[in-house]
Amino acid sequence: MSEFLLERDGTKVKVMVGQRLTAQTAPELRELLCAIQEDGVTDLTLDLSGTETLDAVGIELLLAAANSYRGGGKRLAVQAVPRNIFSLLETMRVAQRLSAQMG
């Protein structure tokens, strides 16, 4: 069963990430993000409001998504990041690179 919910409005997509973005769930999200990008989405938001656990594989996936959406008129934002996860992203110096916003 998928941990990810998707809302789409034209070329804008919002993905609500589930409770965990870990080595166990990252492959499914990676497939979803690849399909979204191939479908012409130019504005992608990842909503982490329900995320409680983020591991190194999850962070790697977020960074890969940010790299894929950099330039060419594309935009990626990571929003509604819980305080503890936002602190981790800041400590690792990747919060700004992800356009992360605490929620």
- DSSP of the chain, one letter per residue? --S-EEEEETTEEEEE--SEESTTTHHHHHHHHHHHHHTT--EEEEE-TT--EE-HHHHHHHHHHHHHTSSTT-EEEEEEE-HHHHHHHHHTT-TTTTTEEE-
Mean pLDDT across the stretch 65-82? 90
Residue 14: CATH number of its domain: 3.30.750.24
Mean pLDDT across the stretch 84-97? 95
pLDDT of 3 strictly over 90 = no
Mean pLDDT across the stretch 65-74? 87
pLDDT of 78 strictly over 90 = yes
Mean pLDDT across the stretch 46-69? 95
Output the pTM of the full model: 0.92
Show the domain range for 29.
5-102
pLDDT of 1 strictly over 70 = no
Q: Return the number of other C-beta atoms located less than 10 Å from residue 47's C-beta.
A: 19
Amino acid identity of residue 28, one-letter, is: E
C-alpha of 7 from chain center: 14
pLDDT of 35 strictly over 90 = yes
Q: Domain tally for the chain?
A: 1
Percent of the chain with pLDDT over 70: 98
